[in-house]
């Protein structure tokens, strides 16, 4: 259990690009990074409007001279300082991720980037090559992948407690965009604009979250082929989808199904992952994140609770408070940021084995998320047909 001890040798000197005043996701990044003193916010280019960004940065108690007008100036000026930043988080619209991430890596900075990492596999592979060359971490914020009970489920599956894995069902389907809310909400408008959002809406914005959780739970299972059907129920969003279904056939015969939607009227969040084996099933739902359903065929349902002694050591090491007290989104993000900091420190001393042992969503997760969306779009545009996964 985390008792407030500093987990890194010294806090990572850190900046943000984007995430300014009014940005919900920017606040999530700061809460997560600062939760355990693993990072120290020293600089930023917080807003496309330099004066707004400076005003906001000063409100965060960032020194005025380190509130920069844009990310290029941020990287150049910080490189000149003896106490310059070591890492940067990117919390900007999707269409900017590639350029900012590339510039940060070229400046020798570790990166934590919002998803999707970029728009194309070609771009993603460029970032992967650059990260390897510069020995920099690229972390992707698939936030709930940091939750302790996801680690518990992974350990149980690896131990064979579910038997032979047969199916994995994934879902992220909320109802908050059942109407054209983007007409009155600029922060939503860019998400349905291909120029800023890329080739998809809910596939890239929502579906990649449960998809990565499934990859975490079944790390050795690879997709052979998939079929995607996507719809624009709010017609003005076309060609981007606000609802999609994906069927996946994995190596070894496992079948996968994913439903992503922003028009699931009445649903608050609706992110679930269910793994079904020959003996038992596990189900995790982010609206009840502190509970993992363990259903053994022929036996009563068991609810495994976060923080209890019967969980695996991996599932307990990130607990901040004891069982019976709820943890959720901020803690899951903070767990990721804590492991990102450890990974950055390990990479700086060339300890790649320590990075691999941390199990974080890194550059490979970013590349595969982009690859998966690209295949889904290809299948849907061909008329919802099976396409080989490559």
pTM of the model: 0.92
Torsion on CA atoms 224, 370, 39, 144, rounded to nearest 10: -60
pLDDT of 218 higher than 90: yes
Q: What is the average pLDDT score of the chain?
A: 95
pLDDT of 6 higher than 90: no
Question: What's the pLDDT at 383?
Answer: 97
Question: What's the pLDDT at 241?
Answer: 98
Find the length of the chain: 390
Q: How would residue 33 be classed by pLDDT, with cut points 50, 70 and 90?
A: very high
For 128-143, what is the mean pLDDT? 97
Question: What's the pLDDT at 141?
Answer: 95
pLDDT of 1 higher than 80: no
Alpha-carbon distance 283 to 352, whole Å?
32
Eight-class DSSP state of 114: P
Alpha helices in the chain (DSSP H): 24-34, 50-59, 71-79, 97-106, 121-134, 148-158, 186-189, 194-197, 202, 208-217, 313-316, 329-348, 352-358, 363-381
User: Contact 1/316 with Cβ under 8 angstroms?
Assistant: yes
pLDDT digits (tens, 9 = 90+) for 49-82: 999 999 999 999 999 999 999 999 999 999 999 9
pLDDT digits (tens, 9 = 90+) for 229-240: 999 999 999 999
Question: What's the pLDDT at 204?
Answer: 95
Alpha-carbon distance 71 to 78, whole Å?
10
Beta bridge partners of 258: 170, 246
Question: What's the pLDDT at 4?
Answer: 75
Question: What's the pLDDT at 2?
Answer: 76
pLDDT of 127 higher than 80: yes
Alpha-carbon distance 203 to 147, whole Å?
22
Question: What's the pLDDT at 114?
Answer: 95
Q: How would residue 390 be classed by pLDDT, with cut points 50, 70 and 90?
A: confident
pLDDT digits (tens, 9 = 90+) for 251-270: 999 999 999 999 999 999 89
For 144-158, what is the mean pLDDT? 96
Torsion on CA atoms 326, 329, 334, 337, rounded to nearest 10: 150
User: Contact 292/153 with Cβ under 8 angstroms?
Assistant: yes
pLDDT of 328 higher than 90: no
């Amino acid at each position: 259990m985390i008792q407030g001890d500093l987990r890194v040798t010294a806090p990572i000197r850190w900046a943000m690009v984007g995430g300014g005043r009014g940005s919900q996701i920017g606040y999530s990044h700061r809460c997560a990074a600062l939760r355990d003193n693993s990072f120290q916010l020293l600089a930023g280019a917080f807003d496309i409007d330099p004066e707004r960004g400076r005003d906001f940065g000063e409100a965060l108690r960032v020194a005025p001279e380190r509130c920069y007008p844009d990310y290029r100036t941020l990287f150049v000026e910080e490189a000149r300082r003896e106490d310059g930043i070591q890492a940067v988080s990117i919390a900007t619209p999707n269409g900017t991720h590639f350029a900012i991430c590339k510039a940060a890596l070229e400046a020798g900075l570790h990166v934590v980037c919002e998803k999707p990492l970029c728009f194309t596999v070609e771009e993603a592979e460029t970032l992967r090559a650059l990260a390897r060359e510069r020995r920099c971490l690229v972390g992707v914020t698939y936030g709930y992948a940091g939750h302790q009970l996801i680690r518990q489920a992974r350990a149980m599956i690896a131990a064979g407690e579910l038997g032979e894995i047969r199916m994995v069902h994934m879902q992220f389907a909320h109802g908050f965009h059942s109407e054209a809310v983007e007409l009155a909400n600029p922060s939503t408008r860019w998400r349905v604009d291909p120029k800023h959002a890329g080739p998809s809406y809910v596939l890239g914005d929502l579906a990649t979250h449960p998809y990565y959780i499934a990859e975490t739970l079944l790390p050795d299972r690879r997709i052979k082929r998939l079929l995607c059907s996507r719809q624009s129920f709010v017609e003005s969003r076309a060609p981007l989808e606000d609802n999609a279904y994906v069927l996946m056939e994995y190596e070894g015969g496992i079948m996968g199904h994913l439903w992503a939607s922003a028009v699931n009227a009445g649903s608050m969040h609706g992110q679930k992952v269910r793994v079904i084996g020959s003996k038992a099933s596990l189900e995790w739902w982010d609206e009840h994140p502190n509970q993992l359903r363990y259903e053994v065929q022929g036996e009563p349902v068991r609810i495994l609770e976060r923080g209890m002694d019967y969980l695996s050591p991996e599932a307990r090491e990130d607990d901040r408070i004891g069982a019976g007290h709820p943890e959720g989104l901020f803690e899951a993000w903070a767990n990721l940021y804590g492991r990102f900091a450890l990974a950055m420190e390990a990479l700086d001393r060339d300890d790649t084995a320590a990075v691999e042992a941390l199990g974080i969503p890194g550059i490979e997760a970013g590349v595969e998320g982009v690859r998966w969306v690209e295949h889904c779009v290809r299948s849907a545009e061909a008329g919802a047909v099976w396409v080989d996964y490559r």
